[in-house]
Amino acid sequence: MSERKSDISGWLVRRATWHLWAALGAVLAALVARTARVTSDGGMDNAIVVRAARVWWAGSSPYDDSHFLYLPSAVLAAAPQVLIPRGALSVLVPVAVTGCLVGGWACALRLHGVPLRSRFAVLGLLGLAAGFAPFAHLVLLGNWTATAVLALPLALLLAGRGRWVAAGLVIGAAAALKPLLAPVGLLFVFAGRWRGLAALVGVPVVASVGAALLLPDPAGFFTRTLPFLLSGDDSFVRLYEASPGAVLPRVGVPGVLAGGIGLAGAGAGLGCAWWRWRRGDGGALRLAETAVMLMLSAFLVARPSYDHYLLVVVPLVVAGLPCAGAVARGPWFWLALVPQLPGVSWPYLEGVQRRAFRDAVTLCGMAVTLAVHCGRGGRSCWRPPPLPVPSSRAAAPSAPPAAAPLDPAVGSALGPPASSVHHPTRSAGRRASGASEPPGAGE
C-alpha cells in the first residue's frame, strides 16, 4: 500500500496516532469488562462446552445435552476449563475471544498488505467492535466461533505465501474445535493442493477419533448430534437461525420450499466461488473472495446458522477496502450490514428471538453482493512493477554504448544514443582493465 496516494486510501494506510489506539483499547476493554460482569463460565455458549466437559469428568456422555454440537475433540479441549474457577473463566474467556477477533483482523490486514500500525487497521477494528452488533454478541456468548474468525484469515495468509500444508493444518485445528470452516476445503480442491487438503481433513479426524475413545459414548456425535442437526434442530434453536430454511417458514413459506431456496442459493454461491477462482486474478483478493463465497454459501443452507457466523467473513471483506476492485468499495456490501447496526430498534424486530430476520437480510444481501462481484470480475490489488525511469543525468547514461533504445520514438525524445557520447574516463578504464560492463547493467 502506498502512503503517497492523494485519495482516502492513502490517508488510511498512514500510521495511526496514539489517540486512535487509546479509543480502540477503551472499546475492547469495555466489551471484556461488561461480559465478565454479566456472565458466568465465560458466556452462555462457552458454558455449554464447559458443562459437557464436566459431565465427561463425572463419567457420563457429553452428548446427553442435545445443544452440545461439537466434535469429541472439543470435549478434551474444554476439559482444562473445568479446573479453572468460574470467576476466573468470566474474565479469561472474553479476553481470549477478543484476542481471537483482534488476531483475525490482523491476519486479514496482512493478507491484503495493509500495515498493522495504519489508521485503517485501528479504525477498521474500532468500527467492527462498536458498529457491528455480532462482534459484541460473540464476546458476550463466548462462542468458539472465535477460533474460526482467527483461523480463516491466518490460513489464507499462509496459502497466499505458498504454504498450503500449514494452511490446511490451521483449518484442521479449528475444525477439531468447531467444524465451521469445513467448506473451505473446497478452496484446496479448486487450487489442487491435495497435501494441504489431507492435512485439513486429517487433523480433526485423528483428534476426534482419539478423543471419542475416551468418551463413554464414542459414537454419540453420529447417533445423537448429527441426527439432531439433520432434522433441523429444535423449536428453540430455530428461533435464532438466519438461514432461509429457518427464517422463511416463520413467515408462512412451506418448509420444503424454504429449504429448496436455501439449497439453490448455496449451489449458485458455489458456482460463483468456482468462477472467481478460475478467473485467476487478484492475488489476495482471489483467495479472500473465493473463501468468503464458499462460507456464505454454506451459511445459506447450514443448520444452525447464527448471526456471529458473519464475523468469519466480514473482517476479510472489510480488510480489502484499500484494494482497488474490492467488493467493500461498492455500496451494496455496506447496505447489507445496516441491519447489524447496534442500538437501532427495527419495527416488529425488537425482540431477541426476532433478530434472525435481520441476520437473514444481512446474510442474503452479502451473498448476493459477493456473487455478483465474483461473476462480473473486477480489478485486483496487484500492480505490475513500474517501468524503469531513464536517468536525468544525460552525461552519464546507464545503458552501455552498444545498446539501442527499444523504441525509436523514445530514443529521439531522450536525446542522442549513448554511443554518440564520448566518455574518456570510462573508455580509458575499460582499455586498462580489458573488461566491459555486463549487458543491462544499471537498467
Report in angstroms the alpha-carbon separations of 95 from 34, 99, 392: 11, 6, 57
Residue 239 confidence (pLDDT): 84
Closest by Cα among 267, 232, 268, 263 to 250: 232
Integer Cα distance of 12 and 32 in angstroms: 27
**CA torsion, points 181, 111, 16, 378, in degrees to nearest 10?**
-100
Contact 370, 296 (CB under 8 A): yes
Which residue has 473463566 as its cell numbers?
89
In this prediction the pTM is 0.82
Residue 434 has a pLDDT of 43
What is the spatial distance between Cα 123 and Cα 139, in angstroms, rounded to a whole number? 19
Residue-level pLDDT, tens digit, the chain, 443 residues: 555 554 556 788 889 999 999 999 999 999 999 999 998 888 999 999 999 999 999 989 999 888 888 999 999 999 999 999 988 999 999 999 999 999 999 999 999 999 999 999 999 999 999 999 999 999 999 999 999 999 999 999 999 999 999 999 999 999 999 999 999 999 999 999 999 999 999 999 999 999 999 999 888 888 888 887 777 656 777 888 999 999 999 999 998 999 999 999 999 999 999 999 998 776 899 999 999 999 999 999 988 889 999 999 999 999 999 888 899 999 999 999 999 999 888 898 888 888 999 999 999 999 999 999 998 754 444 444 444 444 444 444 444 444 444 343 333 333 444 434 444 444 444 444 444 333 333 33
DSSP letter for each residue of 279-322: H---THHHHHHHHHHHHHHHHHH-SS--GGGGGGTHHHHHHTTT
For 433, residues 6+ apart whose C-beta sits below 8 A from its C-beta are none
Residues 6+ apart with CB under 8 A from 13: 1, 2, 3, 114, 115, 118, 119, 120, 322
Asked if 273 and 343 count as a contact pair (C-beta separation under 8 A), the reply is no
Name the helix (H) or strand (E) containing 19.
helix 18-38
Q: Please give the C-alpha separations between residue 367 and each of 273, 300, 348, in angstroms, as whole numbers.
A: 11, 8, 25
The Cα–Cα gap between 384 and 271 comes to 29
Rounded distance, CA 157 to CA 164, Å? 10
The Cα 323–Cα 59 span in angstroms is 54
Give the whole-angstrom CA distance, residue 181 versus residue 292: 11
Contact 400, 439 (CB under 8 A): yes
What is the structure's pLDDT at 8?
A: 58
User: Contact, 346 vs 339, CB < 8 A?
Assistant: yes
Give Cα separations from 336 to 112, 133, 291 (angstroms): 22, 13, 19
pLDDT score of 414: 37
